[in-house]
C-alpha cells in the first residue's frame, strides 16, 4: 500500500467534523451525543461486543495506565487491542495490537469497508469514525481483550458504547472545563458515566470532591469498587533518567498485607507509580482467564512505554518532551523536574492549546526552571504568540521569548552539556518538538560526517 492511499484515507477521515481541532469549543448535546455512535456501530454489526473490554477514563494518567495494562496482558500471552487518543506524530499510534500500530494498508481497508455505513449517519465526527474503525479492526484481528481509553469526559464519549468487563477511572482534575464542568465534582460526574451496572470499577488516587462522586455513582450501579489508594502502598527504591524501581504492598488494617516485591518502570515520575498501582488493581480484578503471573507483571511493567511522558529524546544536550497540559499535570511535572533534573540548567519550551489555564501552569512551573521560551505547534487550537502574551502579561516578569520550533531545535543543538530542555504544555508541542528534533538530529549528524 502506497503512502498516497493512506494520506487520502486520512484526508477523508478529517473531512468530517473534528471537535479536537475546534477553537473555543462549548458543550452542546448535539455535539456530544451517543446516538450517532450507536447507529454507526449497529450498521457495522457491533464488533465491540465480540471481545472483552477494559474501559479507562480520567483526566490524568489514563494513557499511561492503559499502556501498562496492555503491556502486562501482552507479556502474559494475550492478544491485546489498545485504542488511545490523541496521537503524537502518526495517527496510527491510536490503534495498536500488542504494541504494534495498525498497518497503513489495514487502516485504508478498514476505512473503505466502513464508508457505506458512514454515509448513513448524519453529522458523524472524525473521532466517532476513528473509534468505530478501532473497534472493527480489533474484531477483524480476533483479539482477546481491548484496552480502550476514553477520549474526553466519559458519559457521552464515543467509546462509551462498550460493555466492559472492568471500568477504570484514573486521577481527575480540572481540564476541558468549558465542556465538562467548572468544578472537580462536575467533571467527576461526567467521568463516572462509564460506570456500568454491576461491572466492577477501579478508582485511582483522587482529589477531594471527585472520589465521593465516583463512589456514589458506583453505589447507584451496584458496582464493586476497588479503591487503589486504600488497597495498595508503594515505596520508591531507586530512580534516574534510566527508570525507577519501586515496591508494592497491600494495605490491610487487620493483618500484615501481601508484599508484591519490586518492579521497574521506564516511565518516570512518582505519578507513574500511582498509575502502575491502577494497572495492578486491574490485573487483580479481571476475569480469571486473564490471571497474570508475577513474571508477567515484572515484564509488563518493565516493557511499558508511553511516548511524551517525561520522555528523554537525547542525553547530550538533554532533551525531554512531556504532554502535561493542565495545572494538576504541571504540578507533577514540576516535582519530576525537581527530582530528576537537580543541578541542571532547565529551559522550558512551552506551547498550549487555547482552552488551557496557561497562567496557572506558568506560575506553577516558574520556580522549577531557569528560563521559559514560548513556541507553537501547527495544531489549529495552538495558542499564538500574541495570545500567550495576553494571558501572562500581568504576572510574568521574565523576558518574553518566542521561538519558532525549527529555530529552537537549532538552538538546542548548540547548547552546553549541563543544559536540559523540557518541551511541554500540550501533547501537540511535545509531538512537534519530538518530530522536528529527530529530523534535525539526523541532519546534524549527517552534516558532521561530511
258 pLDDT higher than 80: no
A 10 A CB-CB count for 255 gives: 6
22 pLDDT higher than 80: no
Q: Fold for 3-303, please state it.
A: 3.40.1190
Q: Each residue of 31-55: pLDDT tens digit?
A: 567 999 999 999 999 999 999 999 9
| Spatial CA neighbour of 361 closest among 319, 336, 396, 386 | 396
A 10 A CB-CB count for 446 gives: 9
Most confident range (mean pLDDT) of 200-214, 226-240, 253-267, 363-377 is: 226-240
What is d(CA 207, CA 213) in angstroms, rounded to the nearest whole number? 11
Q: Each residue of 291-324: pLDDT tens digit?
A: 999 999 999 999 999 999 999 998 888 999 999 9
Instruction: Supply the pLDDT for residue 417.
Output: 66
CA-CA-CA-CA torsion sign (390, 430, 314, 271): positive
Q: Each residue of 125-145: pLDDT tens digit?
A: 999 999 999 999 999 999 999
Instruction: Supply the pLDDT for residue 25.
Output: 47
Burial class (CB in 10 A: 0-12, 13-18, 19+), 46: middle
- Please give the CATH number for the structural domain made up of 313-449: 3.90.190.20
What does the domain layout of the chain look like in residue ranges? 3-303, 313-449
Instruction: Supply the pLDDT for residue 1.
Output: 53
Please tell me the pTM assigned to this model.
0.91
DSSP 109-123: HHHHHHHHHHHTSTT
Instruction: Supply the pLDDT for residue 449.
Output: 46
246 pLDDT higher than 60: yes
CA atoms within 13 A on the CB side of 6: 12
Burial class (CB in 10 A: 0-12, 13-18, 19+), 335: middle
Amino acid at each position: 500500500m502506497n503512502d498516497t492511499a493512506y494520506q487520502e484515507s486520512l484526508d477523508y477521515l478529517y473531512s468530517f467534523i473534528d471537535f479536537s481541532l475546534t477553537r473555543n469549543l462549548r458543550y452542546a448535546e448535539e455535539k456530544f451525543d451517543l446516538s450517532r455512535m450507536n447507529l454507526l456501530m449497529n450498521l457495522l454489526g457491533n464488533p465491540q461486543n465480540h471481545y472483552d473490554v477494559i474501559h479507562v477514563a480520567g483526566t490524568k494518567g489514563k494513557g499511561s495506565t492503559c499502556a501498562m495494562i496492555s503491556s502486562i496482558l501482552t507479556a502474559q500471552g494475550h492478544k491485546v487491542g489498545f485504542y488511545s487518543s490523541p496521537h503524537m506524530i502518526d495517527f496510527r499510534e491510536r490503534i495498536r495490537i500488542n504494541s504494534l500500530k495498525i498497518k497503513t494498508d489495514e487502516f485504508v481497508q478498514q476505512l473503505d469497508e466502513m464508508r457505506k455505513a458512514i454515509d448513513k449517519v448524519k453529522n458523524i465526527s472524525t473521532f466517532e469514525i476513528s473509534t468505530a474503525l478501532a473497534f472493527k479492526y480489533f474484531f477483524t484481528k480476533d483479539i482477546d481483550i481491548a484496552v480502550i481509553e476514553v477520549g474526553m469526559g466519559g458519559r457521552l464519549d464515543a467509546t462509551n458504547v462498550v460493555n466492559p468487563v472492568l471500568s477504570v477511572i484514573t486521577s481527575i482534575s480540572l481540564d476541558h472545563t468549558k465542556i465538562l464542568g467548572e468544578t472537580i465534582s462536575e467533571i467527576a460526574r461526567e467521568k463516572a458515566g462509564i460506570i456500568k451496572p454491576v461491572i466492577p470499577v477501579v478508582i485511582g488516587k483522587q482529589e477531594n470532591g471527585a472520589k465521593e462522586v465516583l463512589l456514589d455513582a458506583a453505589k447507584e450501579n451496584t458496582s464493586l469498587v476497588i479503591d487503589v489508594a486504600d488497597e495498595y502502598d508503594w515505596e520508591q527504591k531507586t530512580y534516574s533518567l534510566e527508570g525507577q524501581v519501586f515496591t508494592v504492598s497491600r494495605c490491610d488494617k487487620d493483618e500484615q498485607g501481601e508484599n508484591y516485591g519490586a518492579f521497574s518502570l521506564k516511565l518516570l515520575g512518582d505519578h507513574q507509580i500511582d498509575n502502575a498501582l491502577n494497572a495492578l488493581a486491574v490485573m487483580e480484578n479481571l476475569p480469571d482467564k486473564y490471571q497474570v503471573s508475577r513474571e508477567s507483571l515484572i515484564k509488563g511493567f518493565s516493557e511499558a512505554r508511553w511516548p511524551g511522558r517525561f520522555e528523554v529524546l537525547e542525553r547530550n544536550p538533554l532533551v525531554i518532551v512531556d504532554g502535561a497540559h493542565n495545572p494538576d499535570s504541571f504540578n507533577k511535572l514540576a516535582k519530576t523536574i525537581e527530582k530528576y533534573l537537580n543541578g541542571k540548567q532547565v529551559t522550558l519550551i512551552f506551547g498550549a492549546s487555547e482552552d488551557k489555564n496557561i497562567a496557572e501552569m506558568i506560575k506553577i512551573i516558574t520556580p522549577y526552571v531557569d528560563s521559559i521560551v514560548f513556541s507553537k505547534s501547527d495544531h489549529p487550537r495552538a495558542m499564538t504568540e500574541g495570545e500567550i502574551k495576553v494571558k501572562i502579561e500581568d504576572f510574568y516578569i521574565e523576558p518574553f521569548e518566542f521561538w519558532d520550533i525549527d529555530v529552537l531545535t537549532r538552538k538546542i543543538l548548540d547548547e552546553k552539556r549541563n543544559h536540559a530542555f523540557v518541551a511541554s504544555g500540550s501533547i501537540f508541542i511535545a509531538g512537534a518538538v519530538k518530530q522536528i528534533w529527530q529530523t534535525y538530529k539526523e541532519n546534524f549528524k549527517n552534516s558532521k560526517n561530511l
